[in-house]
Amino acid sequence: MRTLSPVRFLRLALATCIAVFVVVASGAFVRLTGSGLGCENWPRCGDSPLPETGYHAWVEFGNRLVALGGILLTCATWIGSRRVPGLSRWARLSALGAFGVAIAQIPMGGITVLVELHPLAVMMHFLLGLTVLGLATIVAIEAWSAVSGLGPPVGPSRIRRITTWLGLPLTAVLVVTGAVATASGPHPGSSEEVKRLGVAITETVYVHVRAAAAFGIALLLLGWALHRLRDRAPGVFALWLVLLGVTVAQAILGEVQYRNALPWGLVLVHVVLAATIFALALALAFVLWRPPAPLVHRGGTAHGA
């Protein structure tokens, strides 16, 4: 079997991450422009595989093409992961998982159309997309380690365990409550009559804001711990700073969009930032355990590892 160099695999993994991120963003664009039912008779688009006419049909069809590109790249990444000498089991399993969940998006997209954009189906479609993004992010990190080497775990083991078992669930709660808030908002995904959750937007936002506050507090506590370790893990602390910056921007945007009756353009940016926060939070938790060497000083040692 022909081998693939770690450098080329890293490029492939990064391309896959970007493609999957675009898929998530384009899916949000479809919904927020009311194009979710632009193509009827899934998997066809009306009476033919291609859209005959109409803005909404082309938006929906464009999303299908973007999603197909993402699926092909996840497939290529999985195949490539089996051909990189010395690549970690983490990378290979995550690449397989990303491809598998990406394939699951195909019937899920069809179900979403067939149930006429029921909010629970739309939420599941979005969350599956984030799952692919998270797995692709892990593959990219492991590919980087394959090129640059793997550094020692960062800090005391209790910090890593708390971040994994508390921080990641808080991130999940943040994303899910945000999806529920969007499902209760003024953007049902189509100009036609679409069934909603039946929960007031004020109630869902109330829960989401408190989830965001809990996430923010946990993020600040982690930052305090990483600041003390910044000499041994400067790259990891820099990653935390990026996550903090995106989180602050997201909080400000959330307040602005809510006070302006949730214009779809701001909601789109909010969704894109939510995907960014999810990927960065997962990456940060992962590199605490398995940091690529450039993120840490090789002379540093892990405490309690």
The model's pLDDT over 171-201, given as tens digits with 9 standing for 90+, comes to: 999 999 999 998 888 888 887 778 777 788 8
Residues 189 and 119 in one domain: no
Contact at 8 Å (CB) between 20 and 138? no
Q: Which residue has the higher pLDDT, 274 or 113?
A: 274
Residues 164 and 134 in one domain: no
**Burial class of residue 70 (count of CB atoms within 10 Å of its CB; 0-12, 13-18, 19+):** buried
- What average pLDDT does range 66-83 have in this prediction? 96
Residues 301 and 160 in one domain: yes
Identify the domain boundary among 127, 148, 169: 148
Query: Mean pLDDT, the chain, as a whole number?
Result: 91
Separation CA 72–CA 12 (nearest Å): 11
pLDDT at 2: 85
CA-wise closest residue to 54 among 43, 62, 42? 62
pLDDT at 298: 59
Structural domain for 242, as ranges = 150-305
pLDDT at 114: 85
pLDDT at 54: 79
Task: Flag whether pLDDT at 301 surpasses 50.
Answer: no
Residues 116 and 232 in one domain: no
Contact at 8 Å (CB) between 138 and 154? no
Q: Which residue has the higher pLDDT, 186 or 245?
A: 245
pLDDT at 184: 86
pLDDT at 300: 44
pLDDT at 1: 67
pTM over 0.75, yes/no: yes
pLDDT at 305: 31
Residues 23 and 9 in one domain: yes
* Residue positions counted in the chain: 305
Own/partner contacts of 80-85, CB < 8 Å, gap of 24 or more, are 80/4, 80/8, 80/9, 80/12, 81/9, 81/139, 82/1, 83/1, 83/2, 83/3, 83/4, 84/3, 84/4, 84/5, 84/6, 84/9, 84/143, 84/146, 85/3
